Amino acid sequence: MRETKRREREMHDPPKEKSIRDIIKGNLFVFGLISGIWFILRTGRKPSRATYPCQQAALFNTNIWIASYVLPVIMATEKIPTFIQDRKKIVAIIGIIAFVTGAGGYNWYLNQSVTGQSIEQAITDYGLTLDARTASLFPVSDIFVITGTNGADDGVKALISNMGEQSLLFYKSQSSGRNKGPNGLISSNDVIIIKVNCQWDERGGTNTDLLKSIIQAIIEHPDGFTGEIIVSDNGQGENRGSLNLGGSFTYLENNALNPAQSIQNVVDSFPESNKVSTYLWSDITETRVYEYSMGDFDDGYVVNTTVNPRTGIMVSYAKFKTKYGTYVSFKNGVYDSTNNTYDSERLKVINLSMLKSHSAYGVSASIKNYMGVPSDVITSEISGRSLATHSTIGRGGLGTLMVETRYPILNIIDAIWINAVPGNGPWTPYESATETNIITASTDPVALDYWSVKYILHQAWQLRTNTNSESMDPDNTTFGFFGNWLRLSMDELIRGGYQVNIDEEHMNVYLYQMSQ
């Protein structure tokens, strides 16, 4: 009966006009030909582009076109030009090339591509309006924004691919290709510190799904990862943070799709062969030590008692032995006890921060996340509270800390859940959080903080209340507020020789929307 009615409708309904897109998609010859032309034009003089997802898809379509139309014509042709001596060999070679590249491209496409698209504007489910932009002034800071991600999906893969398309390669390798090359960020044998936020539980800590995806991306290094990954933070000792633990990797209530998934659970999910571990610097934050080169092999904090005249900070940093026996100085690098030398180049830091309000300093993001690097306890004991590290944030002290210890190779902001209520953070219970499903990244922590706070955190508050927040507004330069100390931190980084900026005219913003 249903089939009869369907046929009756087809007899009476006029045929629908097909769009040009439908015609092309329905015509294999035209579709394959256009794919080939597009592949050539888009790849241009940069062969590395051939490894991008869109190019791989176009190459696959082109190979089907060759197999369907070009090879049969060659096989059917009786008169072969004189310069072709052996038709069967030519056909075989073309066939093999088409099969190998097509099958390889198709396999790569199925297993490596992410679903989504680069866009000029995103309007999120929460109502945030995010716009891509192109810098009009140099030097330029690139900001990468992935929307529609929950941390457990392919959001990190999308981030890495989008960075790669703008020549910011995630993997350092002698061979050039998709997201890899001699100028990449992470070598196969590097020791990576992922600096998270573990001072608070619930939505106040780093999204553990996102952390897991980042670790997975590192160990999938195309050259084979033989290095080490350490997840670290300093919640600054007892009587601070959730449950007065001073930070923890084993909270019962976490920021994840499965709230029971702690940071330690994530780390333990990887096999020992991957050499992924945690080190809670809170455990050594009261122990003052000296560098390995001075014969001190104890874990603890090295302190430079010289006070910075501009920011008032007394710089301190951790040195420690990892679970796998590697000696690490946060400032000087990986230590070789045999030769009494440091390998600074081998130690890399990924600064994985939250996006939330802060009761004292307005905002917690990339720069503020470095408060989990020093020992506030020891500097307080030496100098008194007035020169404790935390007290110097408003004067740009964490900018000084980045310069005098170790600058991150990449800053990633976890804005999957945010706390957009002024003064309500840094503790963020589940009921105080807003789901925005965004991650942002840049090599410039200042530009990243400015853009992420202005267009995600502050905009979320504006949408909720139709008012501005002077404590979170990055354009408010009143002393003591976020916009002011962010600029003071920027001044310190510029003095240290780093290219950072706070002017949007110097920012490229690349948007990528994940498919739902």
Q: Which residues span the domain enclosing 250?
A: 143-496
Token couple for 403 = 């310069």
Packing angle, helices 445-452 and 482-495, rounded to 10: 160
Entry pTM: 0.79
| pLDDT score recorded for residue 6 | 42
> In this structure, is residue 94 part of a structural domain?
yes
Per-residue model confidence as pLDDT tens digits over 268-297: 999 999 999 999 999 999 999 999 999 999
Distance of alpha carbon 364 from alpha carbon 425, whole angstroms? 8
> In this structure, is residue 8 part of a structural domain?
no
Same structural domain, 443 and 380: yes
Strand partners, 119: 511
Hey, is 452 helix, strand or coil? helix
Same structural domain, 99 and 216: no
Same structural domain, 170 and 40: no
Domain end marker among 112, 134, 154: 112
Per-residue model confidence as pLDDT tens digits over 185-239: 999 999 999 999 999 999 999 999 999 999 999 999 999 999 999 999 999 866 6
Average pLDDT of the segment spanning 45-74: 58
Same structural domain, 76 and 157: no
Distances (CA, A) of 68 to 73, 99, 168, 470: 9, 12, 38, 64
> In this structure, is residue 425 part of a structural domain?
yes
Same structural domain, 103 and 155: no
Hey, is 310 helix, strand or coil? coil
Domain end marker among 93, 112, 131: 112
Average pLDDT of the segment spanning 11-22: 48
Same structural domain, 160 and 303: yes
Same structural domain, 208 and 101: no
Backbone CA torsion sign across 169, 173, 176, 182: positive
Same structural domain, 273 and 325: yes
Distant-in-sequence, close-in-space partners of 503: CB < 8 Å, separation ≥ 6: 137
Distance of alpha carbon 492 from alpha carbon 502, whole angstroms? 13
Same structural domain, 149 and 55: no
Domains of the chain: total: 2
Contact criterion met (CB below 8 Å) for 232 and 279? yes
Of all helices (H) and strands (E), which one includes residue 9?
helix 2-12
Of all helices (H) and strands (E), which one includes residue 263?
helix 263-268
Same structural domain, 74 and 184: no
> In this structure, is residue 4 part of a structural domain?
no
In the predicted structure, residue 380 carries a pLDDT above the cut 50: yes
> In this structure, is residue 312 part of a structural domain?
yes
- 349 by Cβ neighbours in 10 Å (0-12 / 13-18 / 19+) ranks as buried
Same structural domain, 106 and 156: no
> In this structure, is residue 203 part of a structural domain?
yes
Same structural domain, 107 and 178: no
> Residue 349 — very low, low, confident or very high, per pLDDT cuts 50/70/90?
very high
Of all helices (H) and strands (E), which one includes residue 218?
helix 208-219
Domain end marker among 63, 96, 112: 112
> In this structure, is residue 123 part of a structural domain?
no
> In this structure, is residue 46 part of a structural domain?
yes
Average pLDDT of the segment spanning 418-425: 90
Distant-in-sequence, close-in-space partners of 157: CB < 8 Å, separation ≥ 6: 112, 114, 213, 217
Rg (CA), the chain: 27
Of all helices (H) and strands (E), which one includes residue 304?
none
